[in-house]
Structure 1
């Protein structure tokens, strides 16, 4: 790939800065380590180093099964109490601080001031636009959103988009970088509130809460309706191609012509329900019931094992088409 003047070649980057190493940031750190990079991390929590070490240890078996890069080691992470020290010499920065806008604005400005001008800085934000987050940065042209999905060490998708003051070449560089490290990248043409995948997830989430609140379905029924239903199709074909196939030989055109009128049926409740204490307790109780004796750690291990199996099966299908 041809790099714009001043930007580093993704293949030449050796050290990654991770700012914020909670669940998402720690997942990113584990992924970067598995790809053979050194990670310099910063987090204000006094127990950050111990917490991220536990997260990496838990993720490493799954990453090992998927395949480690040469030189990959969970020991190649350093956690610092000083942000500027942590970012010294890094070739790329992944910010994963909590979703608090003033915090993001201030932190991105500090990262911008502490790193070389050619270094791209990406935010893991799941809801804010880069336009609103970059207001305090001196060099907003190199700030992008690199929105991952939990857990970042297993789910390949990253949505990349810049803000109003982000340079287009910075967006392209970030997309190239994520692809270089093995991610599946959607490069968005414009900022969209909630990005793409979150918008689709949230629509499903709102409908699920309404059905629980109205006593129309239980937590377990809702989960099974996806895991044993459309969820089995989605790893291979997304919702659009799934409906394309629903039209038979006529494809999407037949599906829309035949089923299109039903889209106006009053099924949906797109407005979010009021999260009352009763609804909150019902959802929590339903999740506890569905989890049964499985702890959170058990569920994480179960999820990771299933994702690995699904990813391997899909890769075999794709290789068979080549």
Structure 2
């Protein structure tokens, strides 16, 4: 696919990190946001973002430039691909995607970073809905490899493949979903585990600190390298043997899984236990620790991961 010109529409936290990742992969980035303060914000953040990317991929020679524009039409002149990062509001998203279409060629794929909306709902006002796809990243976007790709009812399957090829070539690990579902893929998996985690904290079974320790020092390291299915099949003589041996145990767990409603009492219990786990560490400190650790973890996964 080679060097592309990428239009970034919406330049908040997500858009800025997308821009850094695309540029680090050698693409030319043209960015727009209606808030003029975003450019200064990005210039303050960029050295740290670049340092993260350089640490993750040392020796990468290609670097693309990042340019900022005051008008969306000027931004999108001549772009090959658009990554849209507007607010999670369906009416605004429909209008924004239709506006983007007015400034790009018919062959240009438009990918939305939306985490909650369905493509079928977003593409209803588009002149060419066949080229609208979801390209949902994971935070922090510049480091995390996962990108979830899915089309709507009117999306051309070829558009999904074009997006997949671009993301994969820049070092991301895309997954292409066969159909739409609320929350896409990874958020649904996380949501299922987090619902049980919140219920365990709410009911006093364990503290936030101990629940998170169970994640980090239990399945976390193995799942990071091989995922849940391959990891579990290694606990027996293959997947069928594992399911037959341990299936009854898992069925007993599934039959007794807890429900969680985010009522005031649950929010208070989880917030209090989280505060105890965090201690005196600031949000900035926690983020810095996460980013520093992620680089080492992701390099290990790249070397030893199974997928």
| Alignment TM-score, normalising by the size of structure 1 | 0.88
**Residue in structure 1 matched with residue 268 of structure 2 by the alignment:** 281
Equivalent residues of 1:161, 1:190 under 8 A apart:
yes
**Residue in structure 2 matched with residue 59 of structure 1 by the alignment:** 49
**Residue in structure 2 matched with residue 147 of structure 1 by the alignment:** 136
Does 2:292 match 1:292? no
Write the distance in 2 (CA, Å) between the matches of 1:95 and 1:106.
12
Write the distance in 2 (CA, Å) between the matches of 1:21 and 1:253.
47
Equivalent residues of 1:130, 1:163 under 8 A apart:
yes
C-alpha distance after superposition, 1:133-181 (max 9, x if no partner): 1001111111111111111111111111111111111111111111111
Write the distance in 1 (CA, Å) between the matches of 2:222 and 2:66.
38
User: Which residue, 305, 308, 311 being the options, matches 2:292?
Assistant: 305
Does 2:229 match 1:240? yes
Write the distance in 1 (CA, Å) between the matches of 2:37 and 2:266.
34
In the TM superposition, residue 28 of structure 1 has moved relative to its aligned partner by: 0.7
SS in 1 for 2:234: helix
Does the C-alpha gap of structure 1 residues 191 and 44 become closer, same or farther in structure 2, counting only changes over 3 Å?
A: same
Write the distance in 2 (CA, Å) between the matches of 1:203 and 1:43.
34
Give the alignment of 1:205-244 within 5 angstroms: 205-244=194-233
Does 2:61 match 1:70? yes
C-alpha distance after superposition, 1:6-47 (max 9, x if no partner): xxxx3141x211111222222111111211222211222242
Does 2:82 match 1:93? yes
SS in 2 for 1:11: coil
Equivalent residues of 2:150, 2:176 under 8 A apart:
yes
Write the distance in 2 (CA, Å) between the matches of 1:217 and 1:90.
51
Equivalent residues of 1:20, 1:42 under 8 A apart:
yes
Please, what is the CA RMSD of the aligned residues?
Answer: 1.9
Write the distance in 1 (CA, Å) between the matches of 2:11 and 2:42.
6
Which stretches in structure 1 are left out of the alignment for 5+ residues?
Answer: 1-9
SS in 2 for 1:210: helix
Give the alignment of 1:37-186 within 5 angstroms: 37-67=27-57, 69-72=60-63, 76-186=65-175
Does the C-alpha gap of structure 1 residues 285 and 82 become closer, same or farther in structure 2, counting only changes over 3 Å?
A: farther
Bigger Cα displacement from structure 2, 280-289 vs 30-39: 280-289
Write the distance in 2 (CA, Å) between the matches of 1:299 and 1:90.
37
